[in-house]
Amino acid sequence: MQKRWINFSFYLILALTAINCANRGSIGGGPKDVTPPEIVKTVPENYSTNFNANEIRIYFNEYVKVKNLQKQLIISPPMDIQPEITPLSSASEYIKIKIYDTLKPNTTYAFNFGNSIVDNNEENPYEYYRYVFSTGDYIDSLNVKGSVVDGLDRITESFISVHLYEVDSTYTDSIIYKEKPKYVTNTLDSTTNFTIENLKAGTYRLIALKDNNNNNLYEQKSDKIGFFEDYITVPDTSANYQLKVFKEDLDYKAFKPRLVAGEKIAFGYQGDYTKTKIDVLSKVPEDFKFRIVKEQDTDTLNYFYYPKLEDTDSLIFKVQNDKIIDTFTVKLKDNLKDSLNLRAEPINTIAINESFKLKANIPITKVNKDNISIMDKDSVFIDFNTKLDTLLNHLEIKFAKEDKSQYKITILPETVTDFFENTNDSLNYNLQTPDPEALGEARVLVKNATYPILVQLVNDKSEVKYEKYSTKPEPLDFFYLKPGKYYLRVVFDSNKNGKYDTGDFLRKIQPERVSYRKKEVEIRVGWSNVEEFILN
């Protein structure tokens, strides 16, 4: 009995040991599958001619699915009725394309799937698969190559569409707003280069779009556009086109105005408002007055009027901007007027070269400078100057400042009088200038430039943080810089107006040239950098 127990115990321990070893060294699933799927056959065959089918099937050697089809798939020429492509979320051994559009005769079509076809398990892509067919007797085989860059930003966005429009007797440049292109391709997400394949010989307009609505039409409000200045001829085997995309300034447009408060009408617009004139056409009293100010944060012109029109239920206005004239009727209501509100900018910290501003929500008509005082940390009164901007409706106060100092600005009651004869209450603001030892500075040396230029320090989003204007070769000193990483950008101010100007497709104007230095500028606390930018 004892021997049996010993044998049982021995085999039990042996079994437990084996189980424990198996747990610690369990068998894995083998090497990871990195092989992309393979095409077994296509029905009809790829590169078929005299194509008249309404369904295409592409068979693979394993289960596949499609990913990001909306971005990845490019159909050229575009179809008015989008085909149905399955499977989308599930897996299958074949991809089915159901065509609902009426195909054009003697035309070569291409379905470029990009990287959207992947196997079901590890999502290994079948890269850049193209299914091509012709409704005629042959496959068109010409191509156009090039690249896309951003006209202003440091990094060019992915998925830029490139369009070709056939230039014939019916062509006009406005076609890009109304009709889909003859041929289209996409830079996808891996490169800014493009190739448009399977083209017919001919003359074309070549443009690029950041097509945010994915409709193959140019929409000025949402899209960026780039274009080659002249028509291009296919074939031209030596050509390699570079397209520079940019955001156009919006064309001017007036929107229907509305009463937003007592004796205050908001005129919305898009585009350049600076040439806008607003005239009242209705009969108004002899003492009728008005003021127009730009809304600080929106594309709105606020029209304030006096007196209140008790016996008038509406006003008719003519709004003119150059040759564009609109007529609007605004219904009047018994709304309460806004109260005067003054907003200071900046608050707490003010830069050495920065002005202090008081921004008002109602037009400022009078300023009593004698009711303003500025005192430094030693209780010494500081001289200052004031300037009233009547369009942007703010009071600018300029005064000399020293590093690492404090200033108290006192605004006594009745300093500011608005359009409705309201005045301010007492206001006090405490400001300080930064400690230069907590900041940095940089001297920028630009070489080989064509002047005048704007030299800018921008962040990684291409937003301007500091800039200087230069009309001749000279060292440019940037002081009081916040520590961090910046990029050097030079804008070539070809029209000498002191700012960057974008392009205009219909007028065939390219954006002003912009150059970035590849190497970052790193600003450190207490450091003084010397940064050289050699332009090509």
Digit-coded pLDDT (tens) for 267-293: 999 999 999 999 999 999 999 999 999
Instruction: Tell me, yes or no, whether 127 and 147 share the same domain.
Output: no
Q: Of the candidates 109, 87, 105, which has an alpha carbon nearest to the alpha carbon of residue 96?
A: 87
In a domain, 318, yes or no: yes
Q: Beta strand pairing status for 202-210 and 224-227?
A: antiparallel
Contact 502, 511 (CB under 8 A): yes
CA 106 vs CA 4, 151, 230, 271: distances in Å:
91, 38, 27, 43
Compute CA 55 distance to the chain's CA centroid, rounded to the nearest angstrom: 39
In a domain, 270, yes or no: yes
In a domain, 192, yes or no: yes
In a domain, 92, yes or no: yes
Bond into 125 cis (ω within 30):
no
Instruction: Tell me, yes or no, whether 103 and 190 share the same domain.
Output: no
Instruction: Tell me, yes or no, whether 84 and 60 share the same domain.
Output: yes
For the chain, the domain total comes to 5
Q: CA 293, CA 363: separation in Å to the nearest integer?
A: 7
Last residue in a domain, options 109, 134, 159: 134
Digit-coded pLDDT (tens) for 510-527: 999 999 999 999 999 999
**CATH number for 445:** 2.60.40.1120
Domain hosting residue 316, numbered range = 253-331
**CATH number for 371:** 2.60.40.1220
Instruction: Tell me, yes or no, whether 121 and 81 share the same domain.
Output: yes
In a domain, 13, yes or no: no
Last residue in a domain, options 410, 434, 458: 434
pLDDT tens-digit profile, the chain (536 residues): 444 444 544 454 444 444 444 444 444 555 676 789 999 999 999 999 999 999 999 999 999 999 888 888 999 999 999 999 998 878 999 999 999 999 999 999 999 998 899 999 889 999 889 999 999 999 999 999 999 999 999 999 999 999 999 999 999 999 999 999 999 999 977 779 999 999 999 999 999 999 999 899 999 999 999 999 999 999 987 889 999 999 999 999 999 999 999 999 999 999 999 999 999 999 999 999 999 999 988 999 999 999 999 989 999 999 999 999 999 999 999 999 999 999 999 999 999 999 999 999 999 999 999 999 999 999 999 999 999 999 999 999 999 999 999 999 999 999 999 999 999 999 999 999 999 999 999 999 999 999 999 999 999 999 999 999 999 999 999 999 999 999 999 999 999 999 999 999 999 999 999 999 999 999 999 999 999 999 98
Instruction: Tell me, yes or no, whether 147 and 227 share the same domain.
Output: yes
In a domain, 223, yes or no: yes
